[in-house]
């Protein structure tokens, strides 16, 4: 492949693929801020801070519960749904959703809860995986950046 055919986001400056791996454009795993920290922060901010059909506090509690780092103030039926989405998403049934709808939750609110739970589960897994790569037996305070509103000190 010619250099002028390479896309700038491919991580290649010039030369073969291994050269691109030696000089990643966006940081390395040793970077304590994380390779995609800015993207993750924007994603979390978008889910938690933008106007929606559910209060931001509820979305944050859902995200934290799904990540395994909090969210213990959820109503029991919603907490059960969040746990199912976070741990066994393939087991969510139409009946689960219908039960929540009958309890007064709109489709839009359930969508926001589902997205928050899925994001929390993904971030929790990411933190645990990165901790393992660093050789830590347990991760640092989970989602520490998202607890401070998505900013890092």
* Cα within 13 Å of Cα(54), Cβ side: 25
The mean pLDDT of 100-128, rounded to a whole number, is 94
pLDDT band at 2 (very low <50, low <70, confident <90, very high): low
Residue 141 has pLDDT above 70, yes or no: no
For the stretch 18-45, pLDDT in tens is: 333 333 333 444 444 567 888 889 999 9
Nearest to 141 by CA among 150, 132, 128, 129: 128
Alpha carbon 104 to chain centroid, angstroms:
27
CB 101 within 8 A of CB 122: no
* CATH architecture of the domain covering 33-147: Up-down Bundle (1.20)
For the stretch 46-67, pLDDT in tens is: 999 999 999 999 999 999 999 9
Indicate the domain borders of the chain: 1-30, 33-147
CB 68 within 8 A of CB 124: yes
CA distances from 38 to 43, 47, 71, 126 (A): 9, 14, 24, 15
């Amino acid at each position: 492949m010619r250099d002028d055919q390479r896309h700038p986001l491919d991580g290649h400056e010039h030369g073969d693929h291994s050269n691109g791996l030696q000089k990643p454009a966006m940081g390395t795993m040793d970077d304590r801020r994380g390779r995609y920290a800015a993207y993750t922060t924007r994603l979390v901010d978008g889910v938690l801070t933008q106007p929606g059909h559910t209060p931001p506090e509820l979305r944050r509690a859902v995200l934290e519960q799904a990540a395994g780092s909090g969210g213990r103030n959820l109503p029991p039926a919603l907490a059960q749904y969040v746990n199912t989405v976070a741990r066994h998403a393939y087991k969510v049934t139409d009946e689960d959703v219908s039960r929540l709808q009958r309890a007064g939750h709109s489709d839009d609110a359930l969508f926001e809860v589902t997205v928050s739970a899925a994001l929390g589960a993904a971030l929790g897994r990411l933190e645990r995986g990165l901790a393992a790569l660093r050789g830590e037996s347990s991760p640092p305070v989970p989602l520490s950046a998202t607890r401070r509103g998505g900013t890092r000190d």
